[in-house]
Amino acid sequence: MTNSPMPEPLFSSPQRQSPAALFIILVKTVSLFAKIFWPALLVFLFRSTGKSGEHSNKGDKYIYILLAFSAITLIATVIKYFFHRFYISEGSFIVKSGWLNKKITSIPLQNITAVHLEQHILHRILNVAKVSLDSAGSDKVEVSIDALSLKKANELKQFLLQNSNQTKANEATNLHDNQAFEAVINQSKLSFKELLVLSLTANHIEAFFILLALSFNVWGDLQRVFKLDESKWIDEHAALLKSSVALAAGLIFLVAIVSVVYSFIRIVLRFFDFTITTESNGWKMAYGLTNHQQIFLPFPKVQIMQWSSNFVRRKFNIWIMHFMSTGYSELKKKQKIHIPIVSVGQIENLAAKYQQTAIFKPESGHRIDRSYWIRGLIYAGIILGLIPGIAAFFWIKSLAIVWVIVMAYIVVHRMYVYRYFRWQTNDEGLQMYSGAWGRKFTLLKWSKIQQIHLTQNLFQKSRKVATLHFLTAGGEVELPYIPLQVAKLLVDRSLYLVESKNEKWM
């Protein structure tokens, strides 16, 4: 009979990250430096080589500074790596870090609500993963391990989830005995064709503005570096533009093409290889090409559930699901997770995990009060739009017309919101259907409510209508312009359900 030693429990002794972490921390630090100092680096690279006379002395100085920075970065990386250890002891996950400033972070295993594995492009090349934890404690605890071998990361994830689940299993009252933890109930993947349609139907106008803001930012930095004379540049190019209308049209076309390509690439990179798995206690999501993410979202963390579709995507029946949940810290942070959905059946499956009552048919719901768009007509249309517009027309002609058009758009938008808005309540919560051009469904469970606000402006008071705001730990749901009497009844009913049932909100 052999007397084999007892196997040591998993992760019980302090251990370092994978050696690949050294490289990843280094790249992170260098890219952080590069982000902050890139204008200075540009000056160094281009300006110092410009004038050969001054070059040698100044150039040497810059090289020494650069070398000093590199040495500090390298030493900091090595110290960070060697002094970062993690282990599991007495039911807690412990991370020790720092050399001069020592820091010990301890998270009780039963407080761990989610373990995320992330693989950026570097992680994928080196076959490692970044591990980060969500905890339910009210302190702001954020723990992440930059690089662990993929096998070890998965083992750690399984171990942490099992231990946190085991504790929770004893507390959980709503789980059936025959449902094993981590049992896969449902899984769906986004095919490449669906990804292409999703990317092509993105809101390219939004991408256009992001690009515009980004280019202004970079342009500002370049100007500071090279001391460019903006007015001169604009004068030169404006003259060129005036000379040819075709050139101007070409420029707009080019910007539009760049915007479409940009938003297309952005979405392909973000949702590449998207998979969502419904397990017995939460959703597991994995997606991304350059920044591969694995997220586990336990059902109770979701506070509000929404799914929306823009004007074009509606035609293809493509929706984006938004899980509005509590984040890293229970008290402070909110978290929004967006995922693509391509079938109504999938929406129903996901929504049933949050609210079991069937999704209402918009045509059977209640409408909001007509005063919602009448207010828009009076304020945006007449008081802010038409009156100043007519007055200003004799002074600044084209600008006044643009102003009136913008205000008219606001009125029409408000009219369409009024026209399509529907809502309904049930014993579990509130369901809303809204949108002027696109469409959005919102589900809220009464048990998730933290506060209710009933607001009335002077116009609403005269019309005896009110707006209700339901505040949750993941965000807010607004039900606008409903009759005051109904609003009060709804407050009474939802309060009764929150206070009498006394259900957990997470």
Residue 453 or 464: the one with the smaller Cβ distance to another protein is 453
Half-sphere exposure of 278 (CA within 13 A, CB side): 15
169 binds another protein (CB under 8 A): no
496 binds another protein (CB under 8 A): yes
Burial class of 104 by CB neighbour count within 10 A (0 to 12, 13 to 18, 19+):
exposed
Which residue among 147, 148, 285, 449 contacts another protein (CB under 8 A)? 449
**Alpha-carbon gap, residue 463 to 468, rounded angstroms:** 15
488 binds another protein (CB under 8 A): yes
Would you call 4 helix, strand, or coil by DSSP?
A: coil
Residue 60 or 492: the one with the smaller Cβ distance to another protein is 492
Total binding residues for another protein by CB under 8 A?
39
Question: Which residues make beta-bridge pairs with 15?
Answer: 86
Residue 244 or 485: the one with the smaller Cβ distance to another protein is 485
Minimum CB separation of residue 457 from another protein in Å reads 5
**Under a CB-based contact definition with an 8 Å cutoff, are residues 272 and 289 in contact?**
yes
**Under a CB-based contact definition with an 8 Å cutoff, are residues 291 and 121 in contact?**
yes
330 binds another protein (CB under 8 A): yes
Which residue among 473, 477, 479, 482 contacts another protein (CB under 8 A)? 473
In this chain, which stretch among 62-70, 77-85, 359-367, 451-459 interacts with another protein, using CB under 8 A? 451-459
**Alpha-carbon gap, residue 442 to 468, rounded angstroms:** 14
452 binds another protein (CB under 8 A): yes
Which residue among 8, 90, 171, 177 contacts another protein (CB under 8 A)? 171
477 binds another protein (CB under 8 A): no
**Alpha-carbon gap, residue 230 to 454, rounded angstroms:** 51
**Alpha-carbon gap, residue 124 to 130, rounded angstroms:** 10
| Per-residue binding letters, 128-147, with another protein (x by CB under 8 A) | ----------x---------
Minimum CB separation of residue 475 from another protein in Å reads 8
Name residues whose C-beta falls within 8 Å of residue 473's C-beta, 6 or more positions apart in sequence: 303, 326, 330, 334, 448, 450, 505, 506
Name residues whose C-beta falls within 8 Å of residue 285's C-beta, 6 or more positions apart in sequence: 274, 275, 276, 277, 293, 294, 295, 296, 297, 337, 339
Tokens of 145: 């391990």
Minimum CB separation of residue 444 from another protein in Å reads 13
Minimum CB separation of residue 503 from another protein in Å reads 6
Among residues 160, 182, 150, the alpha carbon closest in space to that of 107 is found at 160
454 binds another protein (CB under 8 A): yes
Residue 398 or 502: the one with the smaller Cβ distance to another protein is 502
Per DSSP, 43 falls in state I
Which residue among 36, 248, 331, 344 contacts another protein (CB under 8 A)? 331
What's phi and psi for 21, nearest 5 deg? -60, -35
Minimum CB separation of residue 452 from another protein in Å reads 5
CA dihedral 4, 10, 15, 18 (to 10 degrees): 110
Residue 257 or 331: the one with the smaller Cβ distance to another protein is 331
435 binds another protein (CB under 8 A): no
Q: Which residues bind another protein (CB under 8 A)?
A: 138, 171, 173, 303, 326, 330-332, 334, 449-458, 461, 471-475, 488-489, 491-493, 495-496, 498-499, 502-506
